[in-house]
Structure 1
Amino acid sequence: MSKSIANPNLPAPPSGKYPAKAHARRVAKWIAEHGGPTSGTIYLDGQSTHMTEDDDQARHFRQRRHFYYLTGCDLPDCSFAYEIDADKSTLWIPPVDPEVVMWAGMPLLKQQAMDRFDVDEVLTRDELKSGESLSRMLGKQQSNLMVIEDRVDLSVFESNNVKEQQNPKIDFSWARKAIEVCRVVKDDHEIAMIRHANAVSSYAHEQVLASVKRAKNERELNAVFVMHCHANGCREQAYGCICASGTNASTLHYVHNDMPLTGRLNLLLDAGCEWQCYCSDITRTFPLHGKFTKESKEIYELVLLMQSTCMKMIRAGVLWEDVHMKAHTVAAEGLRQLGIFHSHLSTQDILDSHITTRFFPHGLGHYLGMVTHDTGGNANYEDPNPFFAYLRVRGTLPAGAVITNEPGIYFRQFPLEQELKDGMWKGVIDEEVLKRYWEVGGVRIEDDILVKEGGFENLTTVNSDVDFVEAAVVGSG
């Protein structure tokens, strides 16, 4: 009998209903506490079914995350309302259509939806269009109706004279803002979902390491990762895999994933799956031949030091800009010790030149949740300070947030070589030493971190120690 691809030893996913009602209450409370309406209705439409252009097939469905946060519902063509005063949530689902049943089978029925989702009432979309449920819900004249602009079909409020009878006061300013802020701090159920996505992704990363010797190109290793995620219950990828060998790893969001591995030193794999709309985001870099070269190992150990130094700083209340700058400080000192930066320069001299932004151009991390780059980070991409222009999280970290810790060092020949020819970094970079590192390409190490009072928890379980990754590749085959 052949061995199953699925790993029975992985921890079970979290059980129980997604706590949508608690999320709705939290959003309503945030709105009231920040000057918004204290009563009324929050109304959202989920993602609709869309057909593929020039085809008779539906596009791949991806639920709107704001809608999922208040419903836990992963069905297409649904709507939702939360009545603040009554503390009542209503979900409208598609009705039974005989033609759809013929092709796709029975849809979820009302009672099944009640059993599955954390809502107080389930109706069908036919009942929404009739206007009766809306009239009852809106009640008196000028009730507040909080919606997300461009994410809602307001035509349902024209039906059966709802507009004339209730004339709801439609507000576009509060629902999105409140949901995006509330999503930053995760409850226990959300953390369990992210933890499970990490467990499956970490296992898939380990299987890639165990497959290196059999692979001929990036595409094969990419496929190994996706296969093991899918086989273990996570069909969706949180983002497109980055499977970059050799100098391809100097491209931060490399997309080709199909180049041969021959003649290349290392592979950077940035990949993570979803578990029921919650993401993981993990990066590992490893030697394709089982042993890091001298230069690769030096850079790998420097990135590990950047990550571990920053890890010790993560706790509730820490200013993320400070953690990010600590990574740059460690990078500056490490690259000077390797001779890439001239030894007579002080660490502050190096930082004042901004040269580390050429080797570590991205932010140290981002919030993680229902999307890879989750909401609430308050990034300022117009910041003139080059250290912070790509930093996706600004300000202090709250307990319960999940953030990535992902330093990297990259040797990008463009535009650095041209800048060196133009004399831009004269007296800062030793070009002869730098030449020995171009083939390293890039090294990034990324883990998903739960912020706690007084510390942190690393949700990512795949090892990143030098000895482990080298031994895993040596033993692959």
Structure 2
Amino acid sequence: MATANNILEGKYPAKAHARRVAQYLRSQGHAGSGLIYLEAQKTRMIEDNDEAMPFRQRRPFFYLSGCHLPDSYLIYDVHKDELTLFIPPIDPESVIWSGLPLSSSDALNTYDIDRALPTTDLNDTLASVASEYNGKATVFAINHQISETTSFNGFAETNRSSLMKAIDDTRVVKDDYEVALIRKANSISAKAHIEAIKASKTASSEREIEAAFIGTCIANGCREQSYHPIVACGENGATLHYGKNDDNLIDSTSKQRKKSVLIDAGGEYQTYASDITRVFPLSGKFAPETRSIYEIVLQMQVECIEMLKAGVQWEEVHSLAHRIAIRGLLKLGILRGTEDELFEKRVSVAFFPHGLGHYLGMDTHDTGGNPNYDDKDSMFRYLRVRGRLPAGSVVTVEPGIYFCRFIIAPFLESPELNKYIDAEVLEHYWSVGGVRIEDNVLVTNDGYDNLTTAPKTIEEVEALAA
């Protein structure tokens, strides 16, 4: 069986992606001659500065090219099955500062393309294609991603509404190369999580832990982060997307180190993301309350992952997570009542307010999930994925239990719902903040493949933190 590194020795499968997108367009009734047109992200300058902004390649362009170069273009001739990449020509003024750019021959050797031409040839090439098809071909492009200088004269029409959805839906199912990229991102990020836990032993603030994570990612090949890391100590962990990362690890009142740290962070490898969350104790041992919640969340995650296989209904997996949370919180005495009643009244949403996970790929919250944020049901409103999971999709499984005063307060103040929560028992758990455990999982025809290797059992985490 080929390893991730073996697979990544080959070229990014841009041509195969172009064919899949073209097939999707045909399935939607777009038959006949056609041309897919995409633009790379432009070089953008920082306002009032002569430096370029940090570059992030447009994902649709990368999906059909594998190319990181800014100011580039591509066309895919559906009928000829021909993929052409247009790259910036030599600019003598910039060579002084940046060196020679990629040549056409280099591009042919690097990318899975049929032709490499300078961007100065773009309009002439488009005109030639239009003439060849006698003006009967359609250009598929993305609205607001077409330069004013680009000319589609001679084509029958320019369809600006179908291509983005075609690419978004096609991206849901990953091929072996994409899975290898995500696996590589996870492997590097696992090392970074381990180093972050080790750094916490001597760290005095959240930012030192964040620095250990980012530094390890860069040293091992993930120069970019998939998203801004979350490093939340103590009650900061109750904020789902906490981003300050500058709090002290010492409690200002007790002068003791806070109980735990929640770190949600993932490196990006060659444009593909990882997204991993771990919680670890600052003292080397979980406090009893934190350990109790951790055990529940870990059980939520393990049982939900065991459900995964092609065709599973994601809403059912999410529902299982809530039922396990309810059973655990009942056992601790935080909740009162029966499991079914608490589930029907959606009381567990007070402690687990977000969706169980999301698709993962070139974006952290990847495309194709078809969420419904207008759903009136609070248990399902924030699901980023709806429906059945296909084989080849990569999904995060990230259950959590949080003690956020703002979210729980309405339940405590509700005449209908406050009887289900024991406020006296709850008082012992505010300092836990939040516990979330997140892995990235490939869905297969008969099961799953967990791509995340970062330690997560209580024994493993405590051993690293001790």
What's the TM-score, normalizing by structure 2? 0.95
Superposed displacement of residue 153, structure 1: 1.6
Counterpart-to-counterpart distance in 2, 1:286 and 1:87: 51
Aligned-partner residue type, residue 373 of structure 2:
Y
Counterpart-to-counterpart distance in 2, 1:463 and 1:426: 37
Superposed displacement of residue 141, structure 1: 1.1
Which among 265, 287, 295 is matched to residue 271 of structure 1? 265
Aligned-partner residue type, residue 11 of structure 2:
K
Counterpart-to-counterpart distance in 1, 2:229 and 2:75: 36
1:210 aligns to what? 198
Contact 1:101 1:107 (8 Å CA) reproduced: yes
Which among 190, 197, 222 is matched to residue 185 of structure 2? 197
User: Aligned to 1:170, what secondary structure does the other structure show?
Assistant: strand
Contact 1:41 1:145 (8 Å CA) reproduced: yes
Aligned-partner residue type, residue 58 of structure 2:
R
Contact 1:219 1:257 (8 Å CA) reproduced: yes
Counterpart-to-counterpart distance in 1, 2:232 and 2:309: 32
**CA deviation profile, 1:261-299 (whole Å, cap 9, x unmatched):** 013111000000111100000000011111111110000
User: Aligned to 2:67, what secondary structure does the other structure show?
Assistant: coil
Which among 357, 377, 381 is matched to residue 385 of structure 1? 377
CA RMSD, Structure 1 to Structure 2 (Å): 1.4
User: Aligned to 1:155, what secondary structure does the other structure show?
Assistant: coil
1:363-378 matched pairs, under 5 angstroms: 363-378=355-370
Correspondence 1:326 to 2:314: no
Aligned-partner residue type, residue 204 of structure 2:
K
Counterpart-to-counterpart distance in 1, 2:365 and 2:418: 36
Superposed displacement of residue 12, structure 1: 7.5
What's the TM-score, normalizing by structure 1? 0.93
Counterpart-to-counterpart distance in 2, 1:172 and 1:299: 49
1:394-473 matched pairs, under 5 angstroms: 394-417=386-409, 419-421=411-413, 423=415, 425-473=417-465
Superposed displacement of residue 337, structure 1: 0.8
Counterpart-to-counterpart distance in 2, 1:134 and 1:154: 14
Which consecutive residues of structure 2, in runs of 5 or more, have no partner in the other structure?
Answer: 252-257
Counterpart-to-counterpart distance in 1, 2:150 and 2:414: 62
Correspondence 1:132 to 2:124: yes
Superposed displacement of residue 220, structure 1: 0.2
1:7 aligns to what? none
Correspondence 1:43 to 2:37: yes
Contact 1:360 1:409 (8 Å CA) reproduced: yes
1:253 aligns to what? 241
User: Aligned to 2:395, what secondary structure does the other structure show?
Assistant: strand
User: Aligned to 1:436, what secondary structure does the other structure show?
Assistant: coil
User: Aligned to 2:367, what secondary structure does the other structure show?
Assistant: coil
Correspondence 1:296 to 2:280: no
User: Aligned to 1:205, what secondary structure does the other structure show?
Assistant: helix
Aligned-partner residue type, residue 221 of structure 1:
I
1:17 aligns to what? 11
Counterpart-to-counterpart distance in 2, 1:235 and 1:83: 34
Superposed displacement of residue 462, structure 1: 1.1
Contact 2:229 2:264 (8 Å CA) reproduced: yes
Aligned-partner residue type, residue 367 of structure 1:
Y
1:111 aligns to what? 105
Name the % identity.
48
Superposed displacement of residue 346, structure 1: 1.1
Superposed displacement of residue 37, structure 1: 3.3
Superposed displacement of residue 152, structure 1: 1.5
**CA deviation profile, 1:332-377 (whole Å, cap 9, x unmatched):** 11101110011xx111110122111110011001000000000000
Correspondence 1:171 to 2:159: yes
Contact 2:275 2:438 (8 Å CA) reproduced: yes
**CA deviation profile, 1:21-66 (whole Å, cap 9, x unmatched):** 0000111011102212342100011100001111111000000000
Aligned-partner residue type, residue 174 of structure 1:
S
Superposed displacement of residue 209, structure 1: 1.4
1:80 aligns to what? 74
Contact 1:37 1:144 (8 Å CA) reproduced: no
Counterpart-to-counterpart distance in 2, 1:403 and 1:222: 24
**CA deviation profile, 1:362-398 (whole Å, cap 9, x unmatched):** 1001000000000000000111111111000000000
Counterpart-to-counterpart distance in 2, 1:356 and 1:142: 57
Contact 2:36 2:76 (8 Å CA) reproduced: yes
Correspondence 1:99 to 2:87: no
Contact 2:350 2:411 (8 Å CA) reproduced: no
1:6 aligns to what? none
Counterpart-to-counterpart distance in 2, 1:380 and 1:100: 47
Correspondence 1:33 to 2:21: no
Aligned-partner residue type, residue 182 of structure 2:
I
Which among 55, 60, 65 is matched to residue 61 of structure 1? 55
Which consecutive residues of structure 1, in runs of 5 or more, have no partner in the other structure?
Answer: 1-9
1:4 aligns to what? none
Which among 225, 236, 248 is matched to residue 213 of structure 2? 225
